[in-house]
Structure 1
Amino acid sequence: MLQNLREKTSGWIATVVLGLLIVPFAFVGVSDYFQQTRERPVASIGAPPTWWADAPTFWPFSALWEHQDVTQRDFRDRFEQARQTARQEQGVEFDAREFESVDNKRKVLDALIDERVQGLWAQRQGIVVSDAMVRREIAQIPAFQRDGKFDLQQYRLAVRTLSPPRTEAQFEQLVRDGLADSMLRTSIGSSSFATASETSRLIALLGERRDVSVIALPAAQPDTAAVTAAEIDAWYRSHIADYRAPETVTLEYVELDASTLPLPVVDEAALRARYEQEKKRFVSDEQRQAAHILISVPAGAAASVDAAAREKATRLVAQARAPGADFAALARANSDDTGSKAAGGDLGLVGRGALAPAFEKALFEMQPGQVSDPVRTEFGWHVIRLGQVQQGNQETFEQARATLEKELVESGRERRFQELSTKLVDDVLKNPSVLAPAAQAAGLPLKTVGPIARGQGSGVIAHPLVQRTAFSDTAIQQRMVTDPIDVGNDHSVLIRVKDHAPARQLTLAEVRDRVIAAIRADRTLKAAQKRADAVVAQVKGGQSLAAVATAQGLAAPQVLTGVPRGAPAVAEGVAEGFFTAQAPKGQKPVGSKVLPDGRAFVFVVDAVKPGTAADMGGDPAVLSRQIGQLHGFVEVESMVRTLRRTYKVEVNEANL
């Protein structure tokens, strides 16, 4: 047998076969043929070699391309970061199920691909982020600082507690990638600019005002003509998306609100006992009226500067202690404290903890009217004078009673709320498929609401957490009582889905009346538009707006001057028509606007006043820079889109 094998593997045919097998092994390696469990990437990005921009992607030339993968771990990390950001921004409005949608995953993935495409381009262009730049950027991150300075231990701890945790090398690579991306955007964005004519044109448009004459046409009479079956069918088919029944649920629920629970009985003896236990709470702190003269000493000043300041403070102490001395006058003449200087150094009544430790120590050791020796703080040397002393005051039981009673009532309600909440949960756990027995045992009413669609309902049912829970797959499919849903301070609700109806397309028979009403409303608006168009034609034909109004028995035109963009002139949305109306050169723009309620307006633009820099209320140079920045942003986005078309990007949605 071995001899036969040797014969069959010899000769020119075997040599050719072996030669053909060597080629793919040379390009992809033997290991790839046996590595069946390798994780597939979420996306792959391929770039042709810089020296062969049109290199084909088919084998064997694909080995010449430069490739980068977005792994499943890369995507999961970025998606989790996006989830945390959305949860922080949206709060109770955050919908975990909606966030997990395929569209949202693609949005996150596309942003990640854009970053990789930019990074790959920057690398191929020789844009390099040095280690020094990375270190400098990390050192400036506040989360890694202690007392305003970079702290290595703080950095290592913070990196390990990131979500997901990272090594220092991984975090540094993230910073490096971010700097490369920002360098790319900055280099392209900073090269963009707005011309003077472009800025002037934008100012003229944004600040433009128009003088307008306008007449109001009466609302068209509601259409009552017959609607044929063919019209009904055609309207229904062309507007079929408007006739869908939304998903609905019918709920039963129990609401537990501490604020509605009966007030607990307040025991007088308990109030007095609590007062005796907490008497110290009702003692106001001693306060002292302080005045000072500050001779400031800059931080890091030489010893000679500090000595000179102390010497000056010593002289001021002697002057302040002299009989008949005016401390306030001395402070106004000598103090470096701009906040109290004008008030003669008066700081008012202060308690412990409000001042620098050394200042406070000296102040609370003095007697009224006494002037201290010079006191050194971080600000310099102080000369302190103590005015009146306001002793701490002990509130009587009667004075503290209202506070104690309120606290006892609130704690009693909170305790009762916790007891009822615990009892509700315990009873529900005995039979989680029904809510009525638990509600009855707790003495709480069982309420029912529905059918309601998403966003409907009032009170606690309108709360985002309740809505999200009510329409969750678990609540709908299992029909079990939910855990308590916290909707406020000591306020919760337990719900159970009794019935559920999925969203569905309504039949024509179900919405026939709605279709007929829509057709007639559309006819009414078209009639209003037709009448407005006829008036516009008369004005364009040479008649004045006033003459047309008189001929049709309408009120005289209303003249509006200096109407700015977005102004709520005449009626909501009418001013938009003023600025969209155009006319041949030398003629006044004429137009109309029909509102959804059937009212129509015809107008003539009498004058157009271009905006000026003063109208914009800003500096034209600032606006020019903003336009340039906008151009830069658009150019970067355009470049990324171009790169994505130039590179080969493959997305594996199955791996999301």
Structure 2
Amino acid sequence: MLQKLRDRTSGWAATIVIGLLTLPFLLVVDQGYMGGLGANSVAQVKAPPTWWSGAPSWWPVSKVWRHEDVGVEEFRQRFEQERMQQRQQQGEDFDPRAFESIENKRRVLEGLIDEKALLLAASRAGITVGDAAVRDYIESIPAFQVDGRFDATRYQLALSSQVPARTPRQFEELVRQSLQQSLLPSGIGTSAFATEAEVDRILRLSGETRDAEVALLPLQEEDAAAVSEAELQAWYDAHKNDFLHPESVAIEYVEVGAGQLPAPAEADEATLRSRYQEERARFVEPERRLASHILVRVEAGADEATRKAAEEKAARLAGEAAAEGADFDALAKANSEDPGSRDSGGDLGWVERGLMVAPFEEALFAMQPGEVRGPVKTDFGYHVLKLREVDAGAQVPFEQAREELAREQAQADSERAYSELTGRLTDLIYQNPSSLEPAARETGLQVQKLGPFTREQAMGVAAAPGVRRAAFSEALIEDGTASDPIELGPNHSVVIRVIDHAPEQARPLAEVHEAVEAAIRADRREKAAVAAAEALVERLKAGEALADVAAGAGAEVVPLQGLPRGAPVPSQAANRILFEAAPPEQGKPSVGRFGLQDGRQAVFVLDAVHPGKPEELSKEQREQLRGQLAQLDGAAAADDYVRRLRQRFVVVVQESQL
């Protein structure tokens, strides 16, 4: 049998067959092995090498293409950052379900793709960012400064408190990458400029004023003509969305909160003492040490000779500081390269465990008061340490901790009672989700009813955004089952069930008959007012004076001298129309009309246009304006650069990873 199989799988025909069978397996191999999009990426930005701009994208030539990936974890972190920002901005109105939309995810991804495109462009252009530039940028960040100077201790604390925590080296690489991808667009942005002619043109336009006369026409009289049933039906059919009943629901609910929980009993002495013994470590003032240091800085990437010289200098300073009668403060002020502590004689204040990098902390907490030790090597360079004083800490007695323990015990008892009641209620509701009565009866709670209410007009517990979202959710409306507990606040929640739902629907004509008739009459009045104003405009174009036209129409003429652009006079929309009107020509007035919010119409004659006066602007103001125009042009140019960059590169998105 095996021999027959070998015989039939030899020769050129069998080779072709085996090759054809192998091809599908090659096509399903992870694209990451062939320069494609791997399983750990959401998107990839690719470009051919600079030395072969026309290189095809198929494998194996794609191996020479350069690419930057948007990793799954990177996308998730950025999306979570955006979620936190939106929650802070919107407060209780933040809807977590709506935020999870594919549109939001795509928007966040687009920003990351732009960053990767810039990073790839910088890499292709051979742009690098040196250690000195990274260090200078980090030291300029206010969050890492004390009294306006970079402080190494605060830097370490800030990095360790981030989520996720980062080491200094990881943060430096992050800064390096950010600077690298921003150099090209920022260079384009800062290269923009505004000419003197552009500045003058902007000043003439923005400072332009206009002289006009406006005739405010009286309100049109009510149209007394009857409104036929056919007109009513036609208007109603064309404007049904103006006469809608909004969607509404009515709910029943069970509330669990402080009002439904018994007051927690006061904890007995034995319980508090037992808890104190179990948590003695909490009530210990930690050991702390009063320290000073001298830093001889060594830059990342320094050669061995530089490191050796720094170590020798630190050793020499340690010897001088340990000598009898040495003035450590003076040595630190003269030699330390830590700008955050140098001017105060190297004073670091009281230091507890966990605040400093490991080598520094290990040395400091192994020293005796008055001892000088060094050199101590860290990522920053070499340190000379002096321990000035030790505070060993002490156990806080029970009597001093009792009040805090009692408060915590009462809070824990209250939370436990709330959790037990909520859990029991939830379990009972799951057994019979189509009614709240049985579960409420078993737990001694009360079923209450609310509504009907709309999305915009809600009261009571329905005023909480989470309750409204659940009440109008498709699941609760269609199934008629109870919701999960909805949190209203700490130890305060509610379970709801929709008992009645009225979808958005047009109100019948008979119900809105008067409103439809009023709308028709208002429309007639508006059309009549516009027609009357248009007739007056034609008379003004024919050469009649505004005063004569206004007198015949019973209109009030209001002069507007020196009207500035953008002023809400007579209204924002009217101002825009006045400044869109063509300047008057010799013997040909510039006239027009506009409507007011109260339903009146106005006609106007534009008498004169006065351009702004660039010469009246001070030199400082002119330079400030020039800078602002350059910034606007630069920002537009940078955006255009990124857009064109995206067109030149190949962007592949793994939609399933979103």
1:79-130 CA-partner distances (Å, limit 9, x unpaired): 0111122223333333322222222212111111111111111211122122
Name the aligned partner's letter for residue 657 of structure 2: N
State the distance in 1 between where 2:542 and 2:150 align. Answer: 77
Name the aligned partner's letter for residue 525 of structure 1: E
**Compared CA separation, residues 164 and 524, structure 1 to 2 (3 A):** farther
- Whether contact under 8 Å (2:584, 2:607) holds in the other structure is no
State the distance in 1 between where 2:518 and 2:69 align. Answer: 56
Query: Equivalent residue for 1:485?
Result: 488
Query: Equivalent residue for 2:97?
Result: 97
State the distance in 2 between where 1:105 and 1:121 align. Answer: 24
> Which structure 1 segments of 5+ residues have no match?
260-298, 304-414
**Compared CA separation, residues 35 and 200, structure 1 to 2 (3 A):** closer
Query: Equivalent residue for 1:277?
Result: none
State the distance in 2 between where 1:579 and 1:216 align. Answer: 18
**Compared CA separation, residues 525 and 230, structure 1 to 2 (3 A):** closer
Query: Equivalent residue for 1:395?
Result: none
Confirm whether residue 652 of structure 1 aligns to residue 654 of structure 2: yes
- Whether contact under 8 Å (1:427, 1:438) holds in the other structure is no
Residue aligned with 2:176, SS: helix
- CA deviation after TM superposition for structure 1 residue 253, in Å: 6.8
State the distance in 1 between where 2:419 and 2:449 align. Answer: 15
- CA deviation after TM superposition for structure 1 residue 193, in Å: 0.9
- Whether contact under 8 Å (2:583, 2:606) holds in the other structure is no
Query: Equivalent residue for 1:333?
Result: none
Q: Report matched runs for 1:250-265 at 5 Å.
A: 250-251=250-251
Residue aligned with 1:134, SS: helix
Q: Report matched runs for 1:378-397 at 5 Å.
A: none
Query: Equivalent residue for 2:163?
Result: 163
Q: Which stretch of the first structure deviates more once superposed, 32-41 or 627-636?
A: 32-41
**Compared CA separation, residues 468 and 26, structure 1 to 2 (3 A):** closer
State the distance in 2 between where 1:532 and 1:150 align. Answer: 69
Query: Equivalent residue for 1:140?
Result: 140
Query: Equivalent residue for 2:534?
Result: 533
**Compared CA separation, residues 543 and 645, structure 1 to 2 (3 A):** same
Query: Equivalent residue for 1:115?
Result: 115
**Compared CA separation, residues 45 and 28, structure 1 to 2 (3 A):** farther
State the distance in 1 between where 2:497 and 2:252 align. Answer: 7
State the distance in 2 between where 1:449 and 1:616 align. Answer: 62
Residue aligned with 2:45, SS: strand
Name the aligned partner's letter for residue 543 of structure 1: E
State the distance in 2 between where 1:524 and 1:421 align. Answer: 68
- CA deviation after TM superposition for structure 1 residue 601, in Å: 0.9
RMSD after superposition: 5.1
> Which structure 2 segments of 5+ residues have no match?
260-328, 334-409, 430-434
**Compared CA separation, residues 120 and 458, structure 1 to 2 (3 A):** same
Residue aligned with 1:219, SS: coil
**Compared CA separation, residues 200 and 157, structure 1 to 2 (3 A):** same
- CA deviation after TM superposition for structure 1 residue 189, in Å: 0.7
State the distance in 1 between where 2:246 and 2:648 align. Answer: 43
Query: Equivalent residue for 1:600?
Result: 601
**Compared CA separation, residues 144 and 604, structure 1 to 2 (3 A):** same
**Compared CA separation, residues 646 and 31, structure 1 to 2 (3 A):** closer
Name the aligned partner's letter for residue 564 of structure 1: P
Query: Equivalent residue for 1:388?
Result: none
State the distance in 2 between where 1:462 and 1:612 align. Answer: 55
State the distance in 2 between where 1:215 and 1:596 align. Answer: 15
Residue aligned with 1:70, SS: strand
State the distance in 1 between where 2:156 and 2:201 align. Answer: 53
Confirm whether residue 106 of structure 1 aligns to residue 106 of structure 2: yes
Name the aligned partner's letter for residue 68 of structure 2: Q
**Compared CA separation, residues 185 and 38, structure 1 to 2 (3 A):** closer
- Whether contact under 8 Å (2:485, 2:494) holds in the other structure is yes
TM-score by length of 2: 0.62
State the distance in 2 between where 1:300 and 1:43 align. Answer: 56
**Compared CA separation, residues 57 and 120, structure 1 to 2 (3 A):** same
- Whether contact under 8 Å (1:188, 1:632) holds in the other structure is yes
Name the aligned partner's letter for residue 577 of structure 1: I
Q: What's the % identity of the aligned pairs?
A: 40
State the distance in 2 between where 1:228 and 1:43 align. Answer: 61
Query: Equivalent residue for 1:564?
Result: 564
Confirm whether residue 633 of structure 1 aligns to residue 635 of structure 2: yes
- CA deviation after TM superposition for structure 1 residue 32, in Å: 6.4
- CA deviation after TM superposition for structure 1 residue 12, in Å: 5.0
Residue aligned with 2:215, SS: strand
Query: Equivalent residue for 1:85?
Result: 85
State the distance in 2 between where 1:451 and 1:648 align. Answer: 51
- CA deviation after TM superposition for structure 1 residue 630, in Å: 0.5
Query: Equivalent residue for 1:195?
Result: 195
State the distance in 1 between where 2:24 and 2:129 align. Answer: 36
Aligned residues: 498
Q: Report matched runs for 1:509-548 at 5 Å.
A: 513=513, 521-548=522-549
Residue aligned with 2:41, SS: coil
Name the aligned partner's letter for residue 581 of structure 2: A
Query: Equivalent residue for 1:177?
Result: 177
State the distance in 1 between where 2:617 and 2:461 align. Answer: 46
Query: Equivalent residue for 1:620?
Result: 622
Name the aligned partner's letter for residue 624 of structure 2: V
**Compared CA separation, residues 462 and 21, structure 1 to 2 (3 A):** closer
- CA deviation after TM superposition for structure 1 residue 570, in Å: 3.4
